Amino acid sequence: MIINKTITILMYWISWLIIPLAIEFSTNLISGFFLIIKKIRYKTRNRKLDFYPLVSILIPVYNSESTLMQCLNSVASQNYPQNKMEVFLLNNQKTRGDSFKIFDTFKENNPNINIWWYDTSSGKAKALNLGILSSKGEYIINIDSDGWLDKNALKSLIIKFKSDSKISALTGVILIDPNYIKDTKNIFLKLLQKCESFEYLESFLIGRNFNSIFNSMYTLAGACSAFKRESLMQTQLYNFETVGEDTHMTFQIRDFTKGKILLAEETFFFVDPIESVDKLYAQRQRWQKGQMEVAKLFSKFHIGKFFDFFTKFPVRLLINDHTLVFPRLIWIFGMIFLYFKGYPTKILVFSNVFLYLMYVFISFFNFFIAYIYLEKQHITKKFLSKNVLIVFLLPIHRFINYWIRIAGIINSAYVNEKWDNISYKEEFKIFFNSIDKLYRKEFDKTIYKIKKEILDE
């Protein structure tokens, strides 16, 4: 009876969180089940390549002097014939900087690789478009200059393309390079970076991997995506009006080619972890703004009636990423309300702990499934299993990202110019400066009044 009563009171406010949690929980269980089956079936597939087609690798260059060499070296050390690849460095900063020297050195050291340098200086999307139009490869691969390809990446991409003629585009698995995290000295930043490692693992090897089964991937990761030339040529190329050009390209491919967009689960691309909370704040807001912009540009996929929830996956995603964000706020409002109503604090604490533990469980379950897909990535595997207790921090990481998501949604409604979002530190600074100014103004007024009164007397 007491338990029943407790649950009844509990359900009153917690249902706003319990229902999304229950949906997430069941989706994760189902996806885990599907992914295990997928893994078992995948093992029996033929993974040899009889013919090596020409591959064009496009690398936009922007402030990447420190990482460019490692990126290029990873291209050179692919287990793919060097005469079957061409590399385009697409410089989109105003000056060439040291990157050009790196290009020069690399070209000298690797005479077998066809590598070109292009100056564009007008944004990533335009740089990529130039690269696409200048390249000749049957397959076009875009990678970021601040990361590096796994040795087997190119070959596995082409094998995946060859496995199904309907595939139009693929995305690689983006992981955080554990070696970079080791160098981080700030303990909080280090924890954040570790959380990010687990988040990426989950996002690619669970999220996108599961979406791949139903051909419902929302975004090809800009850091490492691959296209069939013929598919890319059916689109209007990269859009430079939105900050979500990757998502926009994904929707163009989906809309114009009707082909499949999948995850290449054996193609790994390693990137730097996030450098600061400020960067995270700007990055996640940019992602959210990108999503809203693409939703506008591809409204027919995102806007629907009640039953479209079941047939259009972007509608479902938008409900999760936008609509549900606000009822979740109810939880916080609800807590304030219940506090006013003299609600037992014990229950509030208990329910929060319960929610927290459920999310920890989900993270742990996802980690376990994703781990199976890591196969030969021994360094990453070792790093992740050594830091497995990070799953206890992941719900907090999610919570932080949740607030940044709201910030992204709200700010995207106001800011129209190209993404130049200020950092939260700057925002606080502006805020406190204003208060300071106001205070000073009032203070000066009072002083003036007092002075005047004294003078009058």
Interface residues with another protein (CB under 8 A)? 4, 7-8, 11-13, 15-16, 19, 239-242, 292-293, 295-297, 299, 302-303, 306, 318-319, 322-324, 326-327, 329-330, 332-334, 336-337, 340-341, 406-407, 409-414, 416, 427, 430-431, 434-435, 438
- Decide whether 199 or 321 has the Cβ nearer to another protein: 321
Scanning 44-91, the segments in alpha helix (DSSP H) are 65-76
Q: Minimum distance between the CB of residue 334 and another protein, rounded to whole angstroms? A: 6
Task: Please provide residue 206's backbone torsions phi and psi, each rounded to the nearest 5 degrees.
Answer: -110, -65
Q: Minimum distance between the CB of residue 430 and another protein, rounded to whole angstroms? A: 5
**Tokens found for residue 262:** 């999948």
113 and 129 Cβ atoms separated by less than 8 Å:
no
291 and 405 Cβ atoms separated by less than 8 Å:
no
- Decide whether 134 or 320 has the Cβ nearer to another protein: 320
Query: Residue 207 and residue 295: Cα distance in Å, rounded?
Result: 20
Q: Minimum distance between the CB of residue 316 and another protein, rounded to whole angstroms? A: 11
**Tokens found for residue 23:** 């949906």
Q: Angle at the Cα of 90 (from 98 to 272), degrees rounded to 5?
A: 65
- Decide whether 19 or 379 has the Cβ nearer to another protein: 19
Residue 344 DSSP code? -
Strand bridging mode 85-91 / 114-119 = parallel
Instruction: Look at residues 67, 99, 114, 96 and name the one whose alpha carbon lies nearest to residue 223.
Output: 67
- Decide whether 40 or 319 has the Cβ nearer to another protein: 319
- Decide whether 333 or 368 has the Cβ nearer to another protein: 333
Q: Minimum distance between the CB of residue 93 and another protein, rounded to whole angstroms? A: 22
- Decide whether 77 or 423 has the Cβ nearer to another protein: 423
97 in the Ramachandran plot: left (φ > 0), alpha (ψ -120 to 50) or beta? left
- Decide whether 54 or 325 has the Cβ nearer to another protein: 325
Q: Minimum distance between the CB of residue 69 and another protein, rounded to whole angstroms? A: 35
Q: Minimum distance between the CB of residue 159 and another protein, rounded to whole angstroms? A: 37
Beginning with the edge strand found earlier in the chain, give each strand of the sheet holding 167-176 in spatial order. Answer: 114-119, 85-91, 55-61, 139-143, 224-228, 167-176, 260-271, 147-149
Q: Minimum distance between the CB of residue 250 and another protein, rounded to whole angstroms? A: 16
